[in-house]
Amino acid sequence: MEESSLEEIYLNKSSALHRRHYGQYFTPDTVADMMKQWVLHNLDGGRLLDPAVGLGKLIQDIPAGYEVDAYEDDDEILEFNRAFFTSRPSLHLYEGDFLTDGWEKVYDGIICNPPYITFRTDEEKEIYLNLFREQMGISLSTYTNLYGLFMLKALHQLDEHGRAAFIVPSDFLNARYGAKIKEYLLLDGSLKMIINTDIQMGWFKGAATTSSLLLFDKSSSDDTIEFIRTQSVQELQQAAAYILSDRINPLGVIRRRQDLNAVDKWKLHFYQESQKRFTNVRPLNQFASAKHGIKTGSNQYFCFNNSKIRQWQIGKQHFLPCISKAAQLQQPFFTYVDYKQLVQQDEQMLLLYVEDEREREHGLAQYLEDGKAHRVDQRHLIRARKPWYQFPVLDAAPILVSVFNRKQIQVVRNKTNVRHLDQLIGLYFHDEYKQDADLFMAYFLSDIAQELMANPHKEYGKDLKKLEASDMDASLVLDIQALTTEQKQEIHSIYERIEYLTTHDGDERELMHHYGLLNDLFSNLIQPLEEEEL
């Protein structure tokens, strides 16, 4: 049976719930070939390991001169793959848990696509974390995904001259729980390359994440790690050829291990450092603070439209105007006219805000009792509050940025005093820059702003990217201190026309013309530095 048809049969006969339970996402052929070629390069026979063999794709076509140990703890997937294992006398299958077995074994090569799941139970979590403390002396975060454990244990068993290849979600490169993993990788010293997929490539069907290919070589004395970003099939093929070459001319961004910090967000290294590439930009946090919106703990409970207010007969003095979700912002300018239209459309634009407990009228009292009856008061974030229905409220922000974005980062100039919830990030300018909000918004409307803000996202799959407030703080923005009075006036003139045409349904061609003027202006102000300046 052909490999591709075996995968199709398994996908059709196994349930999605079963595959999610075991964290099963199958390696694309191109990536599997890259991994095998890397591990077997200059290796003539020896002992190989696949810690999570699945359907056996990563060890298909391994020459007979290699002894292969393969682990799998899912009986169902093994039944689909039984013929392959019985036809390979040099392949030894261990039906069990790789993380608890065979710690003393050493391998010349390791190739792995580990399961993409978190700990299934608290008991399992405690067992594994204690095991890694005992065996490796490493204390891992309780948020660590099992793929991180697979990678650490496998590297622990890699021979001092061996090679390894892992395909794993790229989340750990930026996540806090990944700091301990990255710390180990830096100390181990064998990580040579990380090849990251762009979100639009979608290496794994059904996996809401981007992935990274990590390549290790313990025989190399090179003290650098290369970060390679691939955005197309062609670039991935280019990377496949590059990893087997002499790599004299780097394909990606080279970083010395001593310059890397385990607590930093490593995804930034797939891009050249923007601060060193462009003129007239500075990190946003020099001008403003980025803050996530109001965290209610249950937007469904605390957000109201007019129909819900009439239903519960709660006085409007108990509500604050709010933008409850990013989808309510359709244009780059949000005005009171927009707010009133959304209210008339019965959108949830009001936030329950009980400032004085003594003013609890009958309708409000009933609603709070109903919340307790449905255990809203016991939800995460809410149960620690006293009283449970009160929460910190932020002022309205002059500029709003959507947390979740697809092709472009959504940035909106808030022309109202309406507050925002946690689907949005608010930019609050320092006192000396409050009068410059329109200048910054003009910058955010430009193409160069999208480019410089694009780097730090956490990626979820299907083009979906998540932006944190810390990412915005680190994003590069126009250095308005470098502008002359004439340049500021020119920006204001173009920006004001864009705002007018947008909010008054003006001529589309004129609007696009002014966007072009704005892009040209910022392209001249913000330019890549010459090579000798880097």
pTM tops 0.75 = no
Q: What CA–CA distance (Å, rounded) separates 264 from 218?
A: 24
Q: How far is CA 337 from CA 12, 413, 501, 507, in A?
A: 51, 14, 15, 20
Residue 15 pLDDT more than 80?
A: no
Instruction: Identify the band that residue 302 occupies on the pLDDT scale cut at 50, 70 and 90.
Output: very high
The SS3 call for residue 479 is: coil
User: How much is the mean pLDDT over the chain?
Assistant: 86
Render 98-151 in DSSP notation, one character per residue: GGGS-TT--EEEEEE-------SSHHHHHHHHHHHHHHH-----TT--HHHHHH
DSSP H or E stretch at residue 229: strand 224-230
CA distances from 339 to 308, 399, 425, 484, 497 (A): 17, 16, 18, 36, 22
Cα separation, 311 vs 35, in Å, equals 60
List, in sequence order, every residue forming a beta bridge with 168; answer none if it has no partner. Answer: 212
- 59-73 average pLDDT score: 87
pLDDT in tens, 440-470: 999 999 999 988 875 555 555 555 678 888 8
Do the beta carbons of residue 281 and residue 476 sit within 8 Å?
yes
Contact in structure between 43 and 109 (CB atoms under 8 Å): yes
Neighbour-count burial for 308-320, b at 16+ CB within 10 Å, e otherwise: ebeeeebeeebbb
Average confidence (pLDDT) over 500-529? 92
Give the closest residue to 73 by CA, choosing from 32, 115, 123, 106. Answer: 115
The model's pLDDT over 383-421, given as tens digits with 9 standing for 90+, comes to 999 899 999 999 999 999 999 887 789 999 999 999 999
Residue 479 and residue 438 in contact, taking contact as beta carbons nearer than 8 Å: no
Least confident of 91-95, 287-291, 346-350: 91-95
Give all domains of the chain, ordered by start, each with its CATH number.
Answer: 31-270 (3.40.50.150), 284-525 (no CATH)
pLDDT for res 207: 45
Which residue shows structure tokens 């991180």?
148
Helix, strand, coil shares of the chain as percentages rounded to 5?
Answer: 40, 20, 35
What local confidence, expressed as pLDDT, does residue 95 receive? 86
Q: What's the chain's Rg over C-alpha atoms?
A: 27
Tokens 């009171």, residue located: 336
Quickly state the pLDDT bin for 533 (edges 50, 70, 90): very low
> Count of CB atoms within 10 A of residue 430's CB?
12
Task: Please choose, from the candidates 375, 243, 248, 353, the residue with its C-alpha nearest in 3D space to the C-alpha of residue 303.
Answer: 353
Q: What SS3 state is found at 247?
A: coil
Altogether, the residues listed in the chain come to a count of 534
Q: In three state form, how does the secondary structure of 310-367 look?
A: HHHCCCHHHEEEEECCHHHCCCCEECHHHHHHHHHCCCCCEEECCCCHHHCCHHHHHH
- Rounded Cα distance between 176 and 179, Å, is 6
Residue 202 has pLDDT above 50, yes or no: no
Mean pLDDT lowest for which of 39-43, 73-77, 396-400?
Answer: 73-77
Burial of 425 (0-12, 13-18, 19+ CB in 10 A): buried
